[in-house]
Amino acid sequence: MKLEGEAKLVRIFIGESDRWQGKPLYEAIVLEAKRQGLAGATVFKGVTGFGAHSRIHSAKILQLSEDLPMMIEIVDAEEKVRAFLPALEAMVGEGLVTMERVEVIRYRHR
């Protein structure tokens, strides 16, 4: 697969404790992206953050450390990303999903 030029980047901001059909939501999103043939997905775990409820979630606060912020990034051609959005709509009950234009300089695998 070769992906170069203009593409879309989707960022999904959720909590570590969010679930989808019995498994962690971040894991379910990655598995669905793989199932749909997207180029790749990466999950990042935050050390601190807050969202719509304005509660601070931090690795420093023991009782809230089980719900640290998570971010998933997915980059692919616009049509593939847009085809993936209905799945995200169904899966992400609470969180933030953004999309922006990016330029892929190099993405290849053997």
Cα Rg of the chain (Å, integer): 15
- Domain spans of the chain, in order of start: 5-104
CB atoms within 10 A of CB 84: 22
Task: Convert the pLDDT of each residue in 18-41 to its tens digit.
Answer: 999 999 999 999 999 999 999 999
Quote the CA–CA distance of 18 and 67 in Å, as a whole number.
8
Please give the model's pTM, rounded to 2 decimal places: 0.84
- Over residues 52-109, the pLDDT tens digits come to 666 666 666 555 466 789 999 999 999 999 999 999 999 999 999 999 999 998 777 6
Fold (CATH) for 5-104 = Alpha-Beta Plaits (3.30.70)
| Relative orientation angle of helices 25-35 and 78-91, to the nearest 10 degrees | 140
